[in-house]
């Protein structure tokens, strides 16, 4: 097995979730030491236990990404553990289907929570990690956005705004940090089911459903030295869904 991340360290937010958990495990399998951050400590610990059983190094940490103080604390923890931060993966976020509604009917609480988790959480961690990365003139930042951030979607105005903000911030930060040898990119998944049992094949021109490892694969590429000249981009990992009806059928 290739060990692309031997002696490297990473922080993964949303590390107890589907995409974040898969990414944390994939990084660890290739030699990376990972701080697995999640609002649900038990989920983060479960991912770390899986990593440890396979001989990897991972530490769980309960973090509310909406708090800049907790983002700073997570970065401080990683520095305390390993003395460096090579990779940041911001995958905390999401939108609960039952909370989707037209913007004119949406509550302040839902809007603020969606923006807090999906946008502010990324901003706080990007800022905190970048402050350490510039000192070493090395770093890979990968922010998980969404195809919704560029396309929009009915009844998801606040989520679309947050993910669009992530993409715009990623591009701006890439400009700011480029001369410090820090790569900043976004990855935009399409539909990634949280559980099996629903046929999402119609969401892909490839007639198959995404799994978290599909997203993790792109994240690992961007975190690797193979992507040293890639920065400021938003990479679609959606099975061609963003091609729209022209990509699905001309009949």
Q: Which residues participate in catalysis according to the annotation?
A: 159
- CA dist., res. 25 & res. 27, Å (int): 5
What value does the CA radius of gyration of the chain take, rounded to a whole number of Å? 17
148: Cα within 13 Å, side-chain hemisphere: 21
Inter-helix orientation angle 121-136/157-177, to 10°: 10
- CA dist., res. 79 & res. 74, Å (int): 9
- CA dist., res. 17 & res. 144, Å (int): 13
Q: Is 21 helix (H, G, I), strand (E, B) or coil?
A: helix
- DSSP for residue 207: S
Name the residue among 236, 163, 235, 234 with its Cα closest to residue 205: 236
């Amino acid at each position: 097995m290739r060990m692309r991340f031997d002696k490297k360290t990473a922080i993964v937010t949303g590390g107890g979730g589907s995409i974040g958990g898969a990414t944390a495990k994939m990084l660890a399998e290739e030699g990376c030491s990972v701080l697995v951050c999640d609002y649900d400590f038990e989920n983060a610990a479960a991912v770390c236990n899986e990593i440890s059983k396979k001989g990897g190094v991972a530490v769980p940490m309960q973090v509310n990404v909406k708090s800049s103080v907790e983002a700073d604390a997570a970065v401080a923890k990683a520095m305390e553990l390993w003395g460096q931060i090579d990779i940041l993966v911001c995958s905390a976020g999401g939108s609960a289907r039952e909370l989707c509604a037209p913007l004119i009917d949406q509550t302040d609480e839902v809007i603020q929570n969606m923006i807090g988790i999906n946008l502010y959480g990324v901003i706080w961690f990007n800022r905190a990690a970048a402050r350490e990365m510039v000192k070493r003139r090395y770093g890979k930042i990968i922010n998980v956005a969404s195809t919704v951030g560029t396309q929009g979607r009915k009844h998801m105005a606040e989520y679309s705004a947050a993910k669009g903000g992530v993409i715009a911030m990623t591009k701006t930060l890439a400009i700011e940090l480029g001369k410090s040898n820090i790569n900043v990119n976004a990855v935009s998944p399409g539909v990634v089911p949280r559980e099996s049992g629903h046929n999402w094949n119609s969401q892909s021109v490839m007639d198959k459903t995404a799994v978290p490892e599909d997203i993790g694969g792109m994240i690992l590429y961007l975190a690797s030295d193979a992507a040293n000249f890639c920065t400021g981009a938003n990479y679609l990992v959606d099975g061609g869904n963003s091609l729209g009806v022209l990509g699905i059928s001309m009949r």
